[in-house]
Amino acid sequence: MLKSIKSKIPFIFLISISLFWGIYYQGKHPLNDFGNANFEWLYLLDSLIVLPVLCLILIKSKKEAALKALMLCSIAILVGSYIIPEQNKFLMHYLEQGRYGLLALIVILELSALITVYLAIKSALSQQTDPDIAVERPIKKLFKQSAIANFLCFETRMWAFLFYAKHIKPNYFTGEQHFSYHKKDGSQANLLGFIFIILLELPMMHFFIHFVWSSIAANIITGLTVFSLLFFIAEYRAVAKRPVSISK
According to the model, what pLDDT value does residue 154 have? 85
According to the model, what pLDDT value does residue 198 have? 92
Structural domain boundaries in the chain: 2-89, 106-168, 173-248
pLDDT in tens, 13-56: 999 999 999 999 988 888 888 888 889 999 999 999 999 999 88
According to the model, what pLDDT value does residue 4 have? 60
Measured torsion, CA atoms of residues 185, 153, 128, 165, in degrees rounded to the nearest 10: 50
pLDDT in tens, 45-76: 999 999 999 988 988 877 778 878 888 888 88
According to the model, what pLDDT value does residue 17 have? 93
pLDDT at 91 over 80: yes
